[in-house]
Amino acid sequence: MAKPIPFNRRWQQNQLAQLEAAEAVPAQPPAETPPPVQEQVQSLIASVHEALSPPAPDEEFDPIALVQEYLRASPHEVDAVLYARFESRCLGCGEPIRVGDPIRRHPQWGRYVHADCCHRPRAAGFYTVVARYSGQCRRCGQPITPGEQIAYRAGNGWVHAACAQRSEGTP
């Protein structure tokens, strides 16, 4: 029985075989970029330089006009209409959102409101949802059980909906 070849010798033999195989393949010159692609690249670079160049000093720059134009523009990025999977309360009109109602995310508040309330001013100071987990009311200290209406108030956390309505006038 023959002795097995040690690992190092096998590795050296494989490396040598790879080098010989690489030398056997003739080196190919790099392919040149076709002229139309080069022209497109040059035109793209020129357009970027034009866009980044500062305005000429003789041009009139009025920042107030830019702000007024921005304010006249319609609100940006309104999300698509979805259908509610959970009960909640609309911050736009204060009415409840029922399962299946068309809703969309308000662009400023980041909360879901009725699809028609997307551009209204804020009517409700808090929003309510049906509790899915048990917890403790941060206002009265009583337990919150799944199925109850609860509300989220910034600074207070999750509280009973009744506790949120009682504290509406107080900070």
Residue 6 maps to a domain: no
Q: Using CA atoms, how far apart are residues 116 and 81, in angstroms rounded to an integer?
A: 10
Report the pLDDT value the prediction gives residue 124, as an integer from 0 to 100. Answer: 60
Which residues make Cβ contacts (< 8 Å) with residue 104, sequence separation at least 6?
A: 78, 79, 80, 81, 82, 112, 113, 115, 118
Express each pLDDT in 156-168 by its tens digit. Answer: 688 888 887 776 6
Per-residue pLDDT at 143 exceeds 90 = yes
Q: Using CA atoms, how far apart are residues 1 and 148, in angstroms rounded to an integer?
A: 81
Residue 134 maps to a domain: yes
Pair of tokens at residue 83: 């259908």
Residue 151 maps to a domain: yes
Express each pLDDT in 16-29 by its tens digit. Answer: 888 888 887 766 66
* DSSP of 10-77: HHHHHHHHHHHHHHHSPPPPPPPPPHHHHHHHHHHHHHHHHHHSPPPTTS---HHHHHHHHHHSPPS-
Same domain (yes/no): 120, 137: no
Residue 138: domain span: 129-166
- Give 10's pLDDT tier (boundaries 50, 70, 90): confident
* Range of weakest confidence among 6-10, 11-15, 132-136: 6-10
Query: pTM of the entire structure?
Result: 0.37
